[in-house]
A = this chain, B = another copy of it.
Amino acid sequence: MNIRFHNARILTMEDDREVFEGEVWVSGDSILFVGTADEASEYMRLHQGEIPSWDSERDCHKNLLMPGFKNAHTHSAMTLMRSKADDLPLQDWLGNQIFPVEAKMTAEDIYHLSKISIMEYLTSGITSVFEMYLTPYSVADAFRDCGMRCVQTSCVNNFSQSVELLENYYNDLNGRDEYNSFILGVHAEYTCSKELLEKCAELVKKYKAPFWAHIQETESETKECMERYGLTPIEFFDSLGLFEYGGGGYHLVWTNDRDREIMKKRGLFAVTNPGSNTKLASGIAPIREYLEKGIPVAIGTDGPASNNCLDMFREMFLVTGLAKLKNMDAGAVDAMEVLKMATVNGAHAMGLDDCDCLKAGKKADIIMLDMDRPNMQPINNIPKNIVYSGSKDNVMMTMIGGIIRYENRTFNIGAEPDDIYKKAEEISKRIYG
C-alpha cells in the first residue's frame, strides 16, 4: 500500500527537530518522504515518475504523526493474572501468585493470552515491544499473526528453559519473519546459578551479542547478590563478561555510582518500568542520575500482572513525575527527554535502528494522535501535552510496517476481539477453576 498523509502536524523525533506541518508518505513497509508541504511539492517536481500512485490520501486535519512508542519491557501473556495478584511485594507476588500459575500455562495459552496485550499496546500507540516470557516460539507466533514487532529475550533460569534452548531461540527467531527478533538474556541474577550465567557468557562471546536481564529491581535482590558474591548484579554480570557486547537491564531501581560507571563503560541501556516499580513498591529508579551519566534510558510497561496497565502515556508521566519526587525538583527530566526514551531510545535498546524516527527509508511505524481532544487544548506545547496530559484517548491510528493495525478504536490483527477475549476466559477458568 502507498499512503500519503497530508495536512499533518509532524514530530519526527529526529535530532531536535520541532513539530512542523507537512506530509508523510508511506510506500510498502517504509517511509518514502517526510517534510513540509513545500518540500513535498519540490520533491514531486524533482522526482516525477518515481512517485507511487497513492492507494490512499489522508487529510490529517492537523493531527499529529509521530513514531510509534517502543515498550521496552513486558511479559504479554500475563494478562491471565491481571487483577488476580495485586497488592503484594515482588517476592511474595512471584513465589505465591505468579510461578504456581505459570506452571499450568501451555505454549498455546501463551499464544492466546499475548493477543490481549497486543491489542492494548495498539490502543496506546505502541508499535514494538521488548518481550520476555516462557515460550518464545508461541509468543513470536502471536506477534507475527497480529502484525506487531516483537524483540524477545529469554527468561532462562535454574527452573525453566536452558542455555541450549536460549541458543536455539536466538538462531531460530532472528530472521524467521519480519516481525520477530531475539536478543540474548536471562531472567535475573537471583534465579540463575553462576554456572548457568557462565554458559551464557560463552554464547555472548560466540555471537558477539548484547545481553539483557531483570537487574536490581528491588533492594533485597541487590543485597542478596552482594552477600552471595560480594558484588552487585551489574558488577557480577560484568565480571563474567556478559556485557562485553553491551545490552542492558530492566528495572535498575537500586544502582550505585559503581554500577552506573559500568553501565556507561559498557554502553548499557537502562529500561525503566515506573508503573510496575510503583505498584510492587520496589522503589524509584535514579533516572536523572542515568541521564547525567549519559546512560540511555528507555521505558517499559512491564507485564499486565504487575503494572497492570499497558499504557505508555501513564509510564511517560511516571518517568518524569517520579524523578521530580525522588529528586524533590520539579525541573527534573523534561518532556522531550521522556518522549525520546519512549521512541528513539526504546528502538535502539531493542536493536530496531530502522524504527526510531520518522525519516525517509525508516520503517513506517507511525501513530496519529488526536489534537482535537480537550486534553490537548490549547495546543501550547505538543511534547509537553503528550507527556503531561496525553492519554490512550488521543490515539487515532497505530501503523506498523505500513499496515494500519488500529484505527478509530477498531483492530486489524487477523482475529476478532470477542474471540480473543473468549479464549482468555476459557484459559482462566481452566487454570483458576
Contacts and interface: CB of A to CB of B under 8 A. Distances in A.
A375 B275 contact: no
Contacts of A374: 116-117, 119-120, 123, 417
A201 interface: no
Contacts of A320: 279
A44 interface: no
Contact of A417 (B86, B87, B372, B425): B372
Copies of this chain in the oligomer = 2
A384 interface: yes
Interface in A325-342: 325, 327-332, 334-335
Interface string A1-45: 000000000000000000000000000000000000000000000
Nearest to A309: B389
Classify chain A: how many residues form its interface, as a range: 35 or more
A378 B428 contact: yes
Interface in A223-274: none
A283 interface: yes
A311 interface: yes
A304 interface: yes
A339 B374 CA distance: 24
Contact of A421 (B90, B372, B417): B372
Given A87-B331, A275-B321, A375 B309 contact: yes
Interface in A64-79: 79
Interface of A: 79-84, 86-90, 93, 116-117, 119-120, 123, 275, 278-281, 283-284, 304, 307-311, 314, 317, 320-322, 324-325, 327-332, 334-335, 372-375, 377-381, 384-385, 388-393, 417-418, 420-421, 424-425, 428
15 contacts: A87-B331, A89-B330, A116-B378, A120-B374, A123-B373, A275-B321, A278-B321, A279-B388, A281-B329, A304-B389, A308-B384, A311-B375, A378-B425, A391-B391, A392-B393
Given A82-B385, A90-B330, 20 more contacts: A79-B377, A83-B388, A84-B380, A86-B334, A88-B330, A89-B331, A116-B374, A278-B325, A279-B320, A280-B324, A281-B325, A281-B329, A307-B388, A308-B384, A309-B391, A310-B375, A310-B389, A372-B417, A372-B421, A379-B425
